[in-house]
Amino acid sequence: VLLQLDPFLNELTSMFERSTEKGSVWVTLKRSSMKSKVKRNKMATAGEEIEYRCLIRATDGKKTISTSVGQKDHQRFQASYATILKARMTALKKRERKDKRKATDADKKPKSSKKQSTAL
C-alpha cells in the first residue's frame, strides 16, 4: 500500500504501538525512480534527468505499508521519522559495560592454580 507521508507516519506509529509487547517492525529505505527499467533507459538516452525518490517500506510481519519521499519533503520526513523512532525505542536494553579499571586489574593479577594432591 503506497501512502502519503502523514498517513504513513501515523500508521508507522500504530505499528510500533502494536509491537511493543511482542514483535518487531522492519523499516527499509531504498532509492527508486518509480519508473520501469525500460522507461529509465529511454530517458537516459534522450538526455532527460531522472528524478530519484526514497522508497520507504515498513512491515510488522502481517501488514506492509510504504511511501515515496521526494527531495523537497525529505528533511521534514526525516525529522518526523526520527521523533517516532526516539519515542518508540524504550524497550531496548542498555548495554552492560565493564569498568575499565576492574578489567585491567583483573588482567594484572596472576591466576593462582591450586593443585590438589591426594596422599594415600
pLDDT single digits (tens) 36-87? 777 777 777 777 777 788 999 999 999 999 999 988 989 999 999 999 999 8
Instruction: Look at residue 56 and tell me if it is in a domain.
Output: yes
Instruction: Look at residue 94 and tell me if it is in a domain.
Output: no
Instruction: Look at residue 18 and tell me if it is in a domain.
Output: yes
CA distances from 100 to 94, 95, 109, 110, 111 (A): 17, 15, 15, 18, 19
Residue 99's pLDDT is 72
CATH of the domain at 16: 3.30.720.10
Instruction: Look at residue 120 and tell me if it is in a domain.
Output: no
pLDDT single digits (tens) 9-23? 999 999 998 888 888
Which domain does 9 fall in, by range?
A: 5-89
Task: Output the pTM of the full model.
Answer: 0.66
